[in-house]
Amino acid sequence: MSEDTLVQIDNLQFDYGGKPVLQGINMRIPRGKVVAIMGGSGCGKTTLLRCIGGQLRPSAGKVCVDGQVVNEMSRKQIYALRRRMGMLFQFGALFTDLSVFENVAFPLREHTDLSEAMIRDLVLMKLQAVGLRGARDLMPNSLSGGMARRVALARAIALDPSLIMYDEPFTGLDPISLGVIGQLIRRLNDALGATSIMVTHDIQESLLIVDYIYFISGGRVVAEGTPEDIRNSGDPFVHQFVHAEADGPVPFHLKAAPIMEDLGLGDVRA
C-alpha cells in the first residue's frame, strides 16, 4: 500500500442473504483528497462506507485504512480506528434531546479525557468553522435542514479525523444550503489535512468540489476519473447519470409483457 494512499480496497465482495451487493470493488483513496462514490439507489454505496468503517465485514476481498486491514481487526481495534474517522450521516442524525453545543461536545467527552474548559473551546471553534457558534444553545428541532447538517459536520470533525465519510450530505437541502455544505466539505478537508469519501447523488455540486469520482453500477466500478473525465465521458451509464436522462442503460420502463398483451387486446394494430 502506497504511503500516498489512505484507503485501499481490493476485490471487495459483499452479499445480503446470498444476494450479491458488491462484486469485486477496487479503489484507491489518496491522502488529502475528496473522493466521491456515485451510482443509482441500491447499488451498494452506503454498504461500501460501512465496510470501510468496520460495521460490515465483506464476504471476500479486503479494506485497508492507513495500512491496517479493517476486516481482519478485532472489535477493540476497530473502535480505536474509528476515533480517527468522522462520519456525517444522511440527514445529520443529531441527538434530538441534546443542544447544538452538547451534540458537538459528545464525541470529545466520549473519546477523550479533556477538561470541560478545553472541550468548550474546541466546540466553539468547530461551530465557528461551520458558521454556527451563535446557535450553540439551540435544540435540533429549532434548526433548519441546512443548519442541522452543518452542526452534524461540526460534530464529525470534533476529533480532527484523518478520514471523513459523508453519506448523502446534500439530500433535502435547498440550493443555498447545498452550496454552503459543499464548500464546507472542501474547505474543512483542506484545512484539516484530512481525506474525505462522499457518497452522493448530487452530480453537479460534487463536480465542483471533488478530486476524483468512482461510479458504481451492479455492484461494480463501471467508471472512474477526475471531474473533467466524468463530464466528457462517453460511457452510456455515466452520460445518463451526469445529464439526468430519463432513459438509457437504466431504462425508464421496467421489463414487462407488451402493453396490448397485458390489456388482453392481443395483436391489435394502430
Note whether 215 and 40 are within 8 A (CB): no
Residue 37: enclosing H or E segment and its boundaries?
strand 34-39
Using 50, 70 and 90 to split pLDDT, how confident is the model at 235? confident
- Model's pTM, two decimal places? 0.83
Determine the pLDDT at residue 128.
92
Of residues 212 and 19, the one with the higher pLDDT is 212
Nearest to 54 by CA among 42, 72, 40: 72
Q: What is the DSSP letter of 113?
A: -
Q: Of the ranges 106-110, 143-147, 243-247, which one carries the lowest mean pLDDT score?
A: 243-247
pLDDT at residue 36 is higher than 90:
yes
Mean pLDDT of the chain: 86
Determine the pLDDT at residue 267.
61
pLDDT at residue 270 is higher than 60:
no
Of residues 41 and 216, the one with the higher pLDDT is 216
Determine the pLDDT at residue 266.
67
Sign of CA dihedral 109, 112, 118, 121: negative
Note whether 22 and 42 are within 8 A (CB): no
* Residue 74 CA: distances (Å) to CA of 60, 110, 267: 17, 20, 63
Distance of alpha carbon 164 from alpha carbon 29, whole angstroms: 12
| Model confidence pLDDT, tens digit, residues 177-228 | 888 888 999 999 998 899 999 998 877 788 889 999 998 887 888 888 898 8
Determine the pLDDT at residue 104.
94
Cell of 14: 459483499
* Residue 104 CA: distances (Å) to CA of 114, 116, 156, 163, 177: 14, 13, 8, 17, 20
pLDDT at residue 83 is higher than 70:
yes
pLDDT at residue 268 is higher than 60:
no
Domains and their CATH numbers in the chain: 5-96+162-233 (3.40.50.300)
For the chain, give the percent of residues with pLDDT over 90: 36
pLDDT at residue 246 is higher than 80:
no
| Model confidence pLDDT, tens digit, residues 136-154 | 999 999 998 888 989 999 9
pLDDT at residue 269 is higher than 60:
no
